Amino acid sequence: MPDATQQEIWWAVARSEEVTARKPLAVDIGEQPVVLWRDAQGTARALEDRCPHRRAPLSLGCIRDNGWIQCGYHGWMYEGETGRLKEIPNMKDQQKFPPVYRAQAFGVYEQGGMVRVCLDAKATAPTLHDDPLTYVGTAHVSLGHQEYLDALYDDPGLVIAIRGVSFTPYLMSELRNQDGLLVMERSCQWKGLHWPAPFSSDFPLTVLTQTHPVSGETKLTLRDGEMNDLLHAVIAPVPAARGVTAIRWRAALGVRHPGLRGAALRGLNPFSVRGTVDGARLRVTRPSASLHGEDLRNAMCAPELTSEAGPLTPVETVAA
Amino acid sequence: MLEVADRLSDNEALSGVAASTGSGGPAALNAINHWVPHNLVMRDAWFPLAHATGVGKKPVRRAIYSHPFFLWREDGVAVASEFHPNEKQSRASSPFTDARGRYPVMERYGYVWGWFGQPESADPVHLPSLPFLPPNGGLPGHMIGTVRFDCSAPISLENLIDLTHADFLHANITGDEKSESESIETFFDSESITMVRTCTGKSVAPVMKFFSGIKQPTQNIRQVIRIYLRSHCAIAYGRFTPGDDVPLFHPCVPETRDRTRLDYAMNTSHAGLLFRHVMPKASYMVSRQDSSMTSPQSPRYMRDTNRKDLHSRFDAPGQRYRMLMMDIANRQDAGDFAYRDDVSADCSDLIGLRKELFRY
């Protein structure tokens, strides 16, 4: 179960296209199971993935034509916005139920091709206006949420890949708190023949990452030396059950880079999140940026600074 | 007709929990609100460990609450031991076996039954009544089988006693929920609970449409679930009009606290040729459908929680089942292992058995 701070986060638990009116989708926020679907109006809905009748997962049920979700066990039907029980099929004579007859509802907000869920149903959704990015994917990694982010800080190549690009250990800018986000910029090279990174005087590329200190949602920008944005990506790691991290991501190409290297970048899928992490490599990866990140995160999430930096709603900043 | 579990005592009449016997006192309420079936261990009971035909000279291994039961035959007589004959005895024998490590065992209804509890308390009078099975066994092989559930045995039995689940999980076999009327009655004593579901004008079970040749669009159904609490054994007896009688012995042996073994026997001897052979094998499909729900459901009952389950009037038998199980557990915790009611008394009338079909 996410801690108290995480309760207020709008977690990007699914990509928009994953949530349909045909079949419920089961996701987790930590140990909290959540079921997602679209109602008859196409609005994404989120309830606890647990029928309050006999605790069966609602995600094993189905979606009715009127947009209610129906438990597959005994057929109890729930409305998505409030979680209220609407119908018990074997009790046609009584279809009004006391208010306590409800499944737990969560806040849902959809933006930028991501369906976000907040465990606090009364939380106010942020107002964002990002267009969905073209390339998409989902990965589940056997690594805890914070360990996943630490790997991203210390060696992004462990967890992500950009076609034709290799990450170097050298930072142009170490992690810092910028408007409530953890921001850093890493030098990168084009793949191919060149001086190894320790002997290179200059690097042609950088990756800028802006990370929410609690959710870990990260906006990534690949830039060339002319400060052209070659690629944008949003990586949304969410703590899932059993210490797994679920990552939804979207990416899009930016300015067209000329030549063969630019062509390589524009290949089939220029960006990807690795589904597995090389444990041997991870084990010997020296913690560097992640240690600094931990200090920054602790400072940013301290109560006296929270209101100043407003770190609990930085989804707005990430996507801005 | 709805109630939250903690209001049960106020609403028993409304919910349909027939108070034929039993107290329904504070311990009973506790059973519903704090139902942790994995913690229940029923002692001094006969458990159907294996089909009699499955036990021969070579030992087969079974378990009750993780206690090993090795079954084999010596001169044709079934024996049950906590040690394999070839096992180097490196552990002390349990208090549930004699000096040779043997459990009390008996053979009846086509099953080898093992006694789990004080050996000196083992008495055939505590064997559940199963009047639709030949006492000396002998059902053909196609009427018996084994399925397993990845859940606690009481979860599996509670699933069984609320048959509204069949209208959704097993609709493709037993038919959907559409019916003209439906009623639920519950009868119980300290050792058993019986639920009678009566439906009129219910959609015909597809399995009967296809394999019994039922042409009518609807049928009347009387379904009985009778559970012998300590032995975790259930009778599921359905009378379908038009249609066949389907008596099923549905034992849920708690091999471990979260795994259940079900050596079933469905006596379809009096059904048509096709249905007689097909219906018992439907258990393989039905059990997987059940397991799809009880398997994820079971861990959610493994620890006590303050969150209360919601109930409808169809859950009255399930609620009563919880109460009765907790009552026995409480009594056993207090050292009282006595049977207060007779489980071996003929239950033919209670389950509405058509005796003319099952004369043994």
What pLDDT is attached to residue A165? 95
Q: Are residues A114 and A139 located together in one domain of the fold?
A: no
Residue B157 pairs in a beta bridge with none
B183 touches chain A (CB under 8 A): no
pLDDT of residue A311: 32
Count of structural domains, chain A: 2
pLDDT of residue B29: 62
Amino acid at B14: L
Question: Do the domain assignments include residue A128?
Answer: no
B141: tokens are 């092989």
A242 and A197 fall within a common domain: yes
B89 plus B190 within the same structural domain: no
Task: Answer whether residue B339 is part of any domain.
Answer: yes
Name the token pair of A153: 């800080």
pLDDT at B9: 36
Residue at A127 is within a domain = no
Helix, coil or strand: residue B262: strand
Preferred mutation among A84, A90, A91 to probe B, highest tally of B CBs within 10 A? A90
Q: Verify that B195 and B227 share a domain, yes or no.
A: yes
- Is A78 inside any structural domain? yes
A126 in any annotated domain: no
Question: Does residue B178 lie within any of the structural domains?
Answer: yes
Q: In terms of domains, do B194 and B311 share one?
A: yes
CB A55 to CB B301 under 8 A?
yes
The answer to whether residues B35 and B73 belong to one domain is no
> Looking at the structure, do residues A82 and A205 belong to the same domain, yes or no?
no
Let me know if residue A73 belongs to a domain.
yes
Parts of chain A with a pLDDT under 70: 1-6, 303-320
The complex scores an ipTM of: 0.86
| Interface test with chain B among A49, A55, A62, A86, by most B beta carbons within 10 Å | A55
Q: Which chain A residues touch B1 with a CB distance below 8 Å?
A: 91, 94
The whole-number mean pLDDT for each consecutive block of 10 residues of chain B, a chain of 360 residues, reads 34 35 48 88 97 97 96 97 87 88 97 97 97 96 96 96 88 83 92 95 85 86 96 96 92 96 95 91 93 96 92 92 94 96 96 90
- Last residue of one domain, picked from the residues B92, B111, B137: B137
Does A144 lie in the same domain as A108? no
The residue among A118, A149, A178 that closes a domain is A118
Q: Is the dihedral of CA A240, A246, A248, A249 positive or negative?
A: positive
Residues A230 and A285 in one domain: yes
In-domain check, residue B357: no
Does residue B360 belong to any structural domain of this protein?
A: no
Give Cα separations from B178 to A58, B92, B222, B239 (angstroms).
Answer: 22, 57, 15, 17
Query: Between residues 142 and 171 of chain B, which touch chain A (CB distance below 8 Å)?
Result: 162, 164-165, 167-169
Within a domain: residue B356? no
CATH, residue B99: 2.102.10.10
Domain boundary residue, one of A84, A118, A152:
A118
Range of the domain at B98: 48-137
The rounded Cα A231 to chain-centroid distance in angstroms is 18
d(CA A54, CA B32) in angstroms, rounded, equals: 12
Q: What integer pLDDT is reported at residue A316 of this predicted model? A: 40
Whether residues B229 and B108 share a domain: the answer is no
Same domain, A185 and A112: no
Nearest by CB to A74, from B4, B164, B300: name it. B164
**CA-based nearest distance A307→chain B, Å:** 34
Same-domain status, B219 and B336:
yes
Q: Could you tell me how many residues make up chain B?
A: 360
pLDDT of residue B27: 53
Q: Are residues A97 and A152 in the same domain?
A: no
| A125 located within any domain | no
Same domain, A111 and A194: no
Is residue A167 domain-resident? yes
Q: Is residue B93 part of a domain?
A: yes
Do B324 and B254 share a structural domain? Answer: yes
Same-domain check for residues A170 and A301 = yes
Instruction: Determine contact, residues A232/A112, Cβ cutoff 8 Å.
Output: no
Range of the domain at A307: 135-319
Q: Are residues B306 and B346 in the same domain?
A: yes
What is the Cα A214 distance to its own chain's centre?
11
- The domain that contains A29 carries what CATH number? 2.102.10.10
Provide the CATH number for the domain around residue A175. 3.30.530
If asked whether residues A103 and A142 sit together in one domain, one would say no
Report the 3 state secondary structure along chain A: CCCCCHHHCCEEEEEHHHCCCCCCEEEEECCEEEEEEECCCCCEEEEECCCCCCCCCHHHCEECCCCCEECCCCCCEECCCCCEEEECCCCCCCCCCCCCCECCECEEEEECCEEEEECCCCCCCCCCCCCCCCEEEEEEECCCHHHHHHHHHHCHHHCEEECCEEEEEEEEEEEEEECCEEEEEEEEEECCCCCCHHHCCCCCEEEEEEECCCCCCEEEEEEECCCCEEEEEEEEEEECHHHCEEEEEEEEECCCCCHHHHHHHCCCCCEEECCCCCHHHHHCCCCCHHHHHHHHHHHHHCHHHHHHHCCCCCHHHHHC
Q: How far is A35 from chain B (nearest CA, A)?
A: 14
Q: Per the domain annotation, does B212 fall within a domain?
A: yes
Structurally, chain B folds into a number of domains equal to 2
Q: Which residues of A touch B (CB under 8 A)?
A: 50, 52-57, 60, 71-75, 85, 88-91, 94, 97-98, 100-101
- Domain check: are A228 and A280 in the same one? yes
Residues A55, B300: C-beta atoms closer than 8 Å: yes
A141 in the same domain as A112: no
B313 and B344 share one domain: yes
Decide which of A58, A87, A118 is a domain's last residue: A118
* CATH number of the domain encompassing residue B168: 3.90.380.10
Say if A307 falls within a structural domain.
yes
Residue B195 in domain: yes
pLDDT digits (tens, 9 = 90+) for A222-268: 999 999 999 999 999 999 999 999 999 999 999 998 888 888 888 78
